[in-house]
Homo-oligomer: A and B are copies of this chain.
Amino acid sequence: MADAVHHDKTARQLRLLSDALDSGRLGPVRRLVNTLSPAEIGNLLESLPPAKRNIVWGLVDPEDDGEVLVHVGDDVRESLLAEMDHDEIIAAVEDLDIDDLAELAEDLPDTVIDEVLKSMDRENRERLEKVLSYDEDSAGRLMNPDVITVRTDVTVDVVLRYLRLRGEIPEHTDHLFVVSRRHQYLGRVSIAALLTHDASTPINELFDDEQPAIPVDTPSSVVASMFSDHDWISAPVVDENNILLGRITIDDVVDIIREQAEHQALSAAGLDEDEDMFSPVARAARRRVLWLGINLCTAFLAASVVGRFEDTIEKIVALAVLMPIVAGMGGNAGTQVLALMVRGLALGQVSRTNANLLLWKEARVAMLNGLALGGVLAGAVWLWFGDWQLSAVIFAALCANLLFASIAGVMVPLTLKRLGFDPALASAIFLTTVTDVMGFFCFLGLATLVLLP
């Protein structure tokens, strides 16, 4: 419900736009589009099918082009860049901040990069090349080298006069960074402190040397955690010698947090968070078929277990009717455990230290729910087939499979993590393989032992 209003607003814009586009009246479309922020335009473009997307893209104020490109996923960005000629791309990107330019860099044609580098002054060119030399998902790529630094030995008055002289302050500057003569990071002084202290106060009485700087090779997910753990607006980035290289600001961190959440939601279904909703059919199909192919293999594995019990099923067909219930309930119960584990691992709350306790807790939860749901299921089976032995078999099989599900739900993501894989990505496939195989095996195996003469 909470999204309804915003959804409605975007939906209304979409409808207005669609109507205007259908009727060919581009004036109102242009006006509507250019009341939006670059992020909103990006969102709008992502929600349009390719033909309309290209028309709207042509109407966006060229001044916003660069920022819009930063705010869309890789797929959509590629489709937008394909609509622009060389000069348009250069005009769009050359005024971007260095961190934004770095984000776009690998999607831009090499000739564009070369030309943009050439158009920059030497300082900015070196800065951009430096930023690009760091790993894609690291603090080095997120940082902007445009930072205001001060020294300890000046007074508030000197700093305030310097700022006035400078005439421009980078966005989201809540702190100035205090550095040594060799540009080593010493601490930070808040703008608020500058505003509320006497003009003659020296900076070394005001500055805070407690906030740690972010090492340049810190993974971006860790940068995001540091920001939300400390409520930072901006934070300094340093190299291994504590030399200040740049700063990261909260707006980029918010984007990371959103991307991480999308990655987690989509990778569980074997999808890429940069997927364009309207990507060409052949491309979309090709991207999904690998994940579905892996699932097909695991489904065959489960089917081969069923195949071992063909004789039993031939004699008691009710087993074929009921076996998907046992397998499916295991999958559902395991998915619950998995969801908790994946969150716990992402937050760093789960580790070897407490994994045994979690396993023991989840096993007990599974036994309790096995008793409850198994009881209901056994009763229903008795009503349906009137065979109390069959009821007893399905009761025992469900309890066993829920137990296996809870163990798999805890162990699969932990093991994947330890092996260096992303637990959000592959856990579900392994889990349902376990619950299908064990569900079929327990149910049909028990039935063979108990029910066959």
Contacts and interface: CB of A to CB of B under 8 A. Distances in A.
Interface string A253-268: 1110110111011101
A354 B21 CA distance: 13
A120 interface: no
Contacts of A9: 348
A118 interface: no
Chain A interface mostly helix, strand, loop or mixed? helix
A11 B348 contact: yes
A415 interface: no
A84 interface: no
A11 B48 contact: no
Nearest to A363: B281
Interface residues of A, number: 143
B3 A293 contact: no
Contact of A14 (B5, B43, B231, B353): B353
A272 to B, nearest CB: 11
A281 B363 CA distance: 9
A414 to B, nearest CB: 11
Contacts of A295: 328-329, 332
Contacts of A91: none
A171 B314 contact: no
A191 interface: yes
Interface string A327-355: 11100110110111011111111111110
B266 A251 contact: no
Contacts of A2: 137, 219-222
A241 interface: no
A325 B296 contact: yes
A325 B307 contact: no
A202 to B, nearest CB: 17
A390 to B, nearest CB: 13
Interface stretch (A26-34, A123-131, A370-378): A370-378
* Residue of A197, A289, A338 with most partner-chain B CB within 10 A: A289
A104 interface: no
Contacts of A372: 285, 289
Contact of A329 (B173, B174, B292, B342): B292
A418 to B, nearest CB: 10
Interface stretch (A58-66, A106-114, A162-170, A177-185): A162-170
A299 interface: yes
A293 B358 CA distance: 23
* Residue of A43, A328, A346 with most partner-chain B CB within 10 A: A328
A130 B324 CA distance: 54
Given A47-B354, A169-B195, A354-B49, A228 B250 contact: no
A4 interface: yes
A343 B265 contact: yes
A338 B332 CA distance: 17
Nearest to A432: B328
A168 B196 CA distance: 7
A103 interface: no
Contact of A373 (B222, B261, B293, B318): B293
A357 interface: yes
A264 B266 contact: no
A420 B289 contact: no
Contacts of A154: none
Contacts of A351: 7, 10-11, 14-15, 47
11 contacts: A4-B219, A7-B345, A9-B348, A164-B196, A173-B192, A228-B254, A281-B368, A292-B333, A306-B320, A314-B314, A320-B320
Given A47-B349, A168-B192, A299-B328, 11 more contacts: A6-B348, A7-B345, A7-B351, A228-B255, A265-B265, A269-B339, A285-B364, A295-B329, A295-B332, A306-B320, A320-B320
